[in-house]
Chain A
Amino acid sequence: MGKLIIKLYHPAALLLLLISCQRSGQHTIIQNKGSDTLVNLAQMWAEEYSKVEPTVALAVSGGGSGTGIAALINGTVDIANSSRRIKNQEKHDAEKFHQAAVQEHIVGYDALAVFVHPKNPIDGMTIEEIGCIYGKRGKCNYWSDIRGTVVPGCKDNQIIRISRQSNSGTYQYFRDAILGPTQDFRLGSMDLNGSREGIDMVAQTPCSIGYTGMGYLSNHVKTICIAKDSQSQCIAPTPANALDRSYPIARELFMYTVGPLKSDLKKFFDWIKTDAAKKLTIQSGFVPVP
Chain B
Amino acid sequence: METQSIRSKRSVRPRSERVIEGLIKAGGMSSILFIAGILLFILKESSGYIFGSFNFVEFFTSGEWNPASVEKIEYGTLALLAGTLSVTMLSMVFAVPIGLACAFYISEFCPPQLRETYKILIEFLAAIPSVVWGFIAVVIVNPLLINSFGVATGLNILNAALILSLMSLPLIVSIGEDALRAVPESYREAAEGLGATKWEIATRVLLPAAKNGLMAAALLGVGRALGETMAVLMATGHSIRFPSSVFDPVRTLTATIAAELGESPKGGEHYQVLFALGLYLFILSFAINILADWLVRGRGKKV
Where the two chains meet, the residues of A that have a C-beta atom closer than 8 Å to any C-beta of B are 63, 136, 154-156, 158, 160, 165-168, 171-172, 175, 181-184, 187-193, 200-201, 204-208
Contacts and interface: CB of A to CB of B under 8 A. Distances in A.
B152, B237, B260, B263 pick with most chain A CB within 10 angstroms: B152
B6 interface: no
Interface of B: 63-71, 79, 138, 142-143, 146, 150-155, 233, 237-241, 249, 251, 259-260, 263-265
A184 B66 contact: yes
A160 B146 CA distance: 13
B259 A187 contact: no
A190 B249 contact: yes
A190 B238 contact: yes
Contacts of A193: 233, 238, 259
A166 B260 contact: yes
B64, B69, B70 interface centre (most CB from chain A within 10 Å): B70
A117 B63 CA distance: 30
A182 B64 CA distance: 17
Contacts of B65: 187
B152 A192 contact: no
Contacts of A156: 152
A168 B259 CA distance: 11
B69 A167 contact: no
Contacts of B264: 167
B260 A190 contact: no
B238 A168 contact: no
Given A184-B70, A204-B142, A167 B152 contact: no
Ranked nearest first, the 4 interchain pairs of A and B with the lowest CB-CB distance are A167-B263, A166-B68, A207-B152, A188-B241
A164 to B, nearest CB: 10
Contacts of A136: 71
A136 B233 CA distance: 24
B138 to A, nearest CB: 8
A190 B155 CA distance: 9
B275 to A, nearest CB: 16
B153 A172 contact: no
Given A154-B152, A167-B264, A191 B71 contact: no
A168 to B, nearest CB: 7
Contact of A192 (B64, B71, B238): B238
Nearest to A191: B238
Interface centre among B138, B150, B251, B259 (most CB of A within 10 A): B259
B66 A160 contact: no
Given A182-B70, A184-B70, A184-B71, A155 B150 contact: yes
Given A155-B151, A155-B152, A167-B260, A191 B68 contact: no
26 contacts: A63-B265, A154-B152, A155-B151, A160-B152, A166-B67, A166-B68, A167-B68, A167-B264, A168-B263, A175-B70, A182-B70, A183-B71, A184-B70, A187-B63, A187-B64, A187-B241, A188-B241, A190-B153, A190-B155, A190-B239, A191-B251, A191-B259, A200-B138, A207-B152, A207-B153, A208-B152
Contacts of A191: 238-240, 251, 259
A165 B68 CA distance: 10
Contacts of B70: 175, 181-184
A49 B61 CA distance: 51
A204 B152 contact: no
Contact of A165 (B138, B249, B260): B260
Contact of B146 (A171, A172, A189, A205): A205
Contacts of B239: 188-191
Contacts of A200: 138
B277 to A, nearest CB: 14
Contacts of A189: 239
Nearest to A167: B263
Contacts of B142: 204
Given A166-B66, A187-B63, A206-B152, 17 more contacts: A63-B265, A136-B71, A154-B152, A156-B152, A166-B68, A167-B264, A171-B68, A182-B71, A183-B71, A187-B66, A187-B79, A190-B249, A191-B239, A191-B240, A201-B153, A205-B146, A207-B153
Nearest to A180: B70
User: Quick one: which of B65, B67, B263 has the most chain A CB within 10 A?
Assistant: B263
A188 B240 CA distance: 5
Contacts of B249: 190
A193 B263 CA distance: 11
Contacts of A158: 152
B130 to A, nearest CB: 15
A155 B233 CA distance: 25
A258 B264 CA distance: 30
B241 A208 contact: no
A156 B149 CA distance: 12
